[in-house]
Amino acid sequence: MDTIGFEAHDHKGCVRDAIAAVEAHCTRHKLQFTPVRRRVLEILLSEHRAMGAYEILDTLRTEGLGSQPPVAYRALDFLVTNGFVHKIERLNAFIACTHPGQDHTPAFLICRQCDAVAEAHAEPSKGMLGRAAADTGFTIEQAVVEAMGLCPQCRESVHPCA
């Protein structure tokens, strides 16, 4: 199973495991997993959905962990840079990674109805894109792949228009 996000799962365990994985990764790479950074990751993990920076900041504020935008953006920048969180460009929002610590290139399935987001695995330099890049001499370093559409649940509930 590679893409979770549209199905029920052991949420408590998933949060715990993710935090543990990030902790281990930070120790190994001498990265500072500070309280704000940890808390931002926890918020994203516990909600399990894409959240805007200001929405995260609201929570931090009530907990006395920072009240100004740079606090949230700096923590998010750290988490994104190190691959623990991904930015969903289409939503200007952030979501916790489902494979923290592992080197991977994510792709996302975003439901336009309920905003649920599932992380899948993308092969960057394979397929059309890789061919086009190779043809033109372009060097791909990173890729944003975000599919919009309807998740299984919302697909059910949409009236058939017929």
Binding residues for DNA (CB under 7 A): 31-32, 34-37, 52-55, 65-71, 73-75, 77-78, 87, 92-93
114: exposed, middle or buried (C-beta count within 10 Å: 0-12, 13-18, 19+)?
Answer: middle
From the list Zn ion, its own copies, DNA, none, which binds 25 (C-beta under 5 to 8 Å, kind-based)? none
CA distance 63 to 73: 17
Please state, as a whole number, how many other Cβ atoms lie within 10 Å of the Cβ of residue 15: 17
From the list DNA, its own copies, Zn ion, none, which binds 146 (C-beta under 5 to 8 Å, kind-based)? its own copies
Q: Give the residues lining the site for its own copies (CB under 8 A).
A: 2-3, 5-7, 89-90, 107, 109, 111-112, 118, 120-124, 126-129, 132-133, 135-152, 155
Instruction: Quickly tell me which residue has 């190779």 as its tokens.
Output: 134
CA distance 111 to 109: 7
Which of 152, 154, 31 lies closest to 84, judged by CA?
A: 31
Instruction: Quickly tell me which residue has 């543990």 as its tokens.
Output: 20
From the list DNA, its own copies, Zn ion, none, which binds 49 (C-beta under 5 to 8 Å, kind-based)? none
- Which lies closer to Zn ion via its Cβ, residue 11 or residue 121? 121
- Which lies closer to Zn ion via its Cβ, residue 2 or residue 63? 2
Interface residue list for Zn ion (CB under 5 A)? 97, 99, 106, 111, 113-114, 116, 151, 154
